[in-house]
Amino acid sequence: WFYRKEVGRQERDTTKLKEHIEQVIDWAMNPEKNCLMLHGGVGCGKTTMLNAFCKMIQKLYYSNISFIRRGFQWETADMITQWAKNDNRRYENFKVCEWVAIDDIGIEPNEITDYGNIIYPIRDILMHRYENDLVTIISTNLTPKLLTEKYGTRIGDRLAEMMQIVKFDEESYRR
């Protein structure tokens, strides 16, 4: 319902949309891998799906439905990169949180300089989450191959191991 409300400005065949919802729910209920990647072109519904899923998880975690309280945060890759330079405490808290969702990976600068130190915020977060087997959800316009080119073979290889991929190949909903 929420997803349809957000994306449903145009009348379209909802077969693919239903498949994406089923894939995300299936991953959440029976994860084969600890991480989920939503990837596809611009405007095809990845961020809307991510936001709807994150809101659902937040409602479940912070309600009477669940007695288990886990850390859960979501933010854009660009904002996380800014935290790495300007709010290190927030950046480190995000990096170690039990569940995180990172929207729009690939748009942020690959590296930043802070007082002469070169920092690779998203690459470092992905490596930390891989090493500690933490739940991670990402959305990106980049293919796995382009992510490997951006973050290096080491991260690309780990992403291939840890990510279950949901590919959005629809046209932009904005047009």
> pLDDT by residue (tens digit) across 71-114?
778 899 999 999 999 999 999 999 998 889 999 999 999 899 98
95 near 128, Cβ under 8 Å?
yes
Dihedral sign, Cα of residue 137, residue 55, residue 174, residue 11: positive
Structure tokens at 37: 């990647």
- Reported as a single tens digit per residue, the pLDDT across 144-158 is 999 999 999 999 999
What's the one-letter identity of residue 19? E
- Reported as a single tens digit per residue, the pLDDT across 67-81 is 555 577 889 999 999
Nearest to 148 by CA among 156, 158, 140, 157: 156
Buried b (16+ CB within 10 A) or exposed e, 109-135: eeebeeeeeebbbbbebbbebbeeebb
